[in-house]
Amino acid sequence: DQQVKQNSPSLSVQEGRISILNCDYTNSMFDYFLWYKKYPAEGPTFLISISSIKDKNEDGRFTVFLNKSAKHLSLHIVPSQPGDSAVYFCAALKSRGSTLGRLYFGRGTQLTVWP
Amino acid sequence: DVKVTQSSRYLVKRTGEKVFLECVQDMDHENMFWYRQDPGLGLRLIYFSYDVKMKEKGDIPEGYSVSREKKERFSLILESASTNQTSMYLCASSLDRTSGANVLTFGAGSRLTVL
């Protein structure tokens, strides 16, 4: 059963506007959350992360928000640029226990930013 | 920068063939992972390893095996390739499993087609 869910397989946004990508999780033991970006024919690259003790982390145009009570996180990209068009994967991590170090990934959201 | 190198970008094999996918990382990372990516299914973990000669099953280990004889090298083996193993295979590594935000560094991927 999927422990990390990205319910929107695709999102289309105009250049300059905000892109909001959503992610839900079921396991309350997750204590770190990460976003990866993937271009076609390349491996995923790390974008931004957030610890469960925070509710917001910002890095340039990218901000991740975490709502622990709702088990929900979102990635905001402002302003969106055509080069942001990629598949975005949400991932979660348990930093304690036997599966230490293993990431659980969502199925991804294809973001398309059009001019 | 950490580099994760996958030896083959594109392979075409026949059903029943034995297939080796090689992965090497150059930054002395402890953890190594093999994922496959399929449209609509995201990144699914096949096997991972926290140490030399150590391996653990991921979510979809059937039909695969792995080998980690040296710290920097993690090989994925398809003992008898089948058409449903046609996929993009992604190798990743991370520093250690005690750090909180355990960021994975991915290779560029190996696109395998089984005829």
Residue of B103, B105, B112 for testing the chain A interface, max A β-carbons within 10 Å: B103
Predicted pLDDT of residue A86: 97
Domains of chain A and any CATH numbers? 4-114 (2.60.40.10)
DSSP B98: S
Segment B70-93 mean pLDDT: 96
Task: Give dist(CA B35, CA B46) in Å, integer.
Answer: 5
Q: How far is CA B68 from the centre of its chain?
A: 11
Per-domain residue ranges of chain B = 4-98+107-114
Q: Beta-carbon neighbour count of residue B84 at 10 Å?
A: 9
Binary contact (B102, A31; C-beta < 8 A): no
* Closest alpha carbon to A37 in A68, A80, A69: A80
Name, in order, each residue with C-beta under 8 angstroms of A98's C-beta and a sequence gap of 6 or more.
none
Q: Report which residue type is found at A95.
A: S
Does B94 lie at the interface with A, CB-CB under 8 angstroms?
Answer: yes
Residue A92: its chain B contacts at CB < 8 A?
Answer: none
Interface touch A43/B92, C-beta < 8 Å: yes
Contact criterion met (CB < 8 Å) for A49 and B48: no
Domain B4-98+107-114 carries which CATH code?
A: 2.60.40.10
pLDDT values of chain A reduced to their tens digit, one per residue, 115 residues = 789 999 999 999 999 999 999 999 999 988 899 999 999 888 999 999 999 999 999 999 999 999 999 999 999 999 999 999 999 999 998 776 655 567 899 999 999 999 9
How many Cα neighbours within 13 Å face the side chain of B115? 4
Confidence at residue B99, expressed as pLDDT on a 0 to 100 scale: 56
The residue whose two tokens read 């640029």 is A81
B12 sits in which H/E element = strand B10-13
